[in-house]
Structure 1
């Protein structure tokens, strides 16, 4: 049970509120039936995360009282890992319908000295006791030997790795996560770890998380996405949304236009439909063209809204499992990442936003 009987990893984990609802551990319903396809688990320690990222609800120097802390603006209840495994092991006919929709497990490390060893332990238990594919969102800062760690979690049962670079440039990374805020993270180490993860897991099996709206230009974000692709990784996007109690708690999210243009950029680059040389930028670094018309590049996929759906790790059938319902905003009629296929009315709204400021 962690140290001294505390509710800590590896015996305990936090789940997203959506994950707890899918497991039947919390009451609630999903707006527009957007059930989560991935069970997101967050490692937990009584003394918390040692990082100090300015946009994060887990930051060491967050302004809120511990009892009020949230992550991605919701509570993450703590459960015994064995209890979660017991629910996941139930035969299909005995499992709740929401559990049956889960197609993957994602374990998120936090910046803590015990996190690496405990993460391997958690992956081993889930890999042995469940049939779901497993991803690990790794924290490079706590990995003494990243290659060995990646090999260990692969042997334990993980098939994919994610690394949250978040900020698009080294200057923003330092300002938001590194020296400027008294944080331990370093830009070079993160990108080195991405390269090392690809050597262990292979191309397209590693993801790089990037947050749109931390102050970068669109051109800088496109360059970060292209860099991830050059390393053999896929880029998955998040839209900045202010976390209460964080240092950026009063900052506005990016405009819909900015986010839509970067969604299209990530979709095109991840799928190798265009290259970075095809992009057209104005003097402020805003995307003003993709080399060809959107209809010419996308065809039916534009009508289906695919570039605007959440991108993430897949289930065993190759469909996105990590759809993260409402991870970027509260449920409502206009969404940044659609956790389901957009309907005709959604597509009309999206098309009207692409070239907005």
Structure 2
């Protein structure tokens, strides 16, 4: 079956050089969702081979590719809303044999989550993305309440701390709104993976400015203190599933990094 692999993952398949411990895959075909920041959205005129600012490469996922992906500690699948997408997720999970698997998904029937777990998924990502007051403005599918209900149920399946709600900083929300949502997510047993809004040409939000690095650093520190009870430079690391670093997903490598890969932390802070 056809999937899209991130530039780094695809580079490993072609050159054998691994720059991340997570293999990143994206369902092929674009999304029926209407999120105004997303390249995969039905509203987007952007190149569908991109997700955020990362180039993804069309690949035939077969047994040979699956075996090569075993070199990675974790396999992460980003889903899109399309016909039979959940069934396709199951087919992909059955083919990929990595011990640790993550799936990022929108609300679906909870029965599928038990199947995911059976097939090796130990962490789930949920693209909550924004706060309730901006829900319709951003173009999110379903409702804010449905997402929170789904996250609660997912925590029951995967356990406390094994469900990451994605939140994007810079869509127009206030810091107070973000903090309130993070506290609510912590209270229901979920964690938070932070993203900095990245304007992409061809999306409805292409002219929306990025958040300042200063503001993003502050939100990172608040998140880390909220979930781990202390402030440390580790707050600036990419937040998400174990082994996740999302290389340059939000930023040009020539610029200051919003999310710092662990391997670069000492070098980056000393620069």
Aligned residues: 270
Task: Please give the per-residue CA displacement for 1:215-245, whole angstroms capped at 9, x wherever unaligned.
Answer: 1111111111111111101101000010111
Following the alignment from structure 1 to structure 2, what is the Cα–Cα distance between the partners of residues 73 and 344?
25
* Aligned counterparts, 1:8-157, within 5 A: 11-24=1-14, 35-45=19-29, 48-64=30-46, 70-82=50-62, 83-89=64-70, 100=71, 102-126=72-96, 130-140=97-107, 143=108, 145=109, 147-157=110-120
Matched-pair contact (CA < 8 Å) for 2:6–2:57:
yes
Check if 1:339 corresponds to 2:267: no
* Aligned counterparts, 1:266-285, within 5 A: 266-271=223-228, 273=229
Of 198, 204, 213, which residue of structure 1 is paired with 2:161?
A: 204
Give 1:342 deviation, angstroms.
4.8
Following the alignment from structure 2 to structure 1, what is the Cα–Cα distance between the partners of residues 55 and 267?
32
Following the alignment from structure 1 to structure 2, what is the Cα–Cα distance between the partners of residues 70 and 122?
20
- Report the secondary structure of 1:266's partner residue: helix
Answer 1 or 2: which has greater strand percent.
2
Runs of 4+ in structure 1 off by over 2 angstroms are 22-26, 340-349
Task: Please give the per-residue CA displacement for 1:45-73, whole angstroms capped at 9, x wherever unaligned.
Answer: 3xx31011100001102134x5x752212
Give 1:345 deviation, angstroms.
6.6
Compute the TM-score of the two structures, normalised by the length of structure 1: 0.71
Give 1:336 deviation, angstroms.
0.9
Compute the TM-score of the two structures, normalised by the length of structure 2: 0.92
* Aligned counterparts, 1:158-307, within 5 A: 158-167=121-130, 169-178=131-140, 184-271=141-228, 273=229, 297-298=230-231, 302=232, 305-307=233-235
Higher Rg of the two aligned structures: 1
- Report the secondary structure of 1:40's partner residue: strand
Matched-pair contact (CA < 8 Å) for 1:306–1:341:
no
Give 1:335 deviation, angstroms.
0.9
Following the alignment from structure 1 to structure 2, what is the Cα–Cα distance between the partners of residues 327 and 191?
25
Following the alignment from structure 2 to structure 1, what is the Cα–Cα distance between the partners of residues 68 and 49?
27
Following the alignment from structure 1 to structure 2, what is the Cα–Cα distance between the partners of residues 107 and 342?
24
1:318 corresponding residue in structure 2: none
Following the alignment from structure 2 to structure 1, what is the Cα–Cα distance between the partners of residues 152 and 117?
16
